[in-house]
Amino acid sequence: QGPPVYVDLAYLPGSWSARTVDEEFFRRIRSLCYVVSGDDHLKEGVLRPLLDALLAGKHQWGTDIQVTLIPTFDSLVMHEWYQETHERQQELGITVLGSNSTVAMQDETFPACKVEF
């Protein structure tokens, strides 16, 4: 109980811990950006409920705070959720940040995006 907590960036847990992120989490932890990581088979099973919880929790904020969702991996579940709920995302002020940019460091190249506050 208590007032919501406002942060600039919240990193959502991966794997089995992602099951603990529910509507109440998003109602209480209000972030400008949520990073969704965990490109593994365990995350796929809990990803859709986590994304739906974001919509439900954000709905209860009652403000016009814009939210950016930053997935760090490509996922069929994410694509389906994005397409099925795109109109609702717009109503709630949620933007899903996708990037085709890459960063090269030393001997490896990996996808990346730039977030500014």
94-98 average pLDDT score: 88
* Residue 13's pLDDT band (cuts 50, 70, 90): confident
| 91 falls within a domain | yes
Domain that holds residue 101: 5-111
| 28 falls within a domain | yes
96-117 average pLDDT score: 76
pLDDT at 17 over 70: yes
pLDDT at 110 over 80: no
Token pair listed for 23: 């509507």
55-65 average pLDDT score: 91
Taking alpha carbons only, the member of 41, 36, 29, 49 closest to residue 98 is 36
| 95 falls within a domain | yes
| 90 falls within a domain | yes
| 117 falls within a domain | no
pTM of the predicted protein model: 0.83
| 116 falls within a domain | no
CA distance 39 to 19: 15
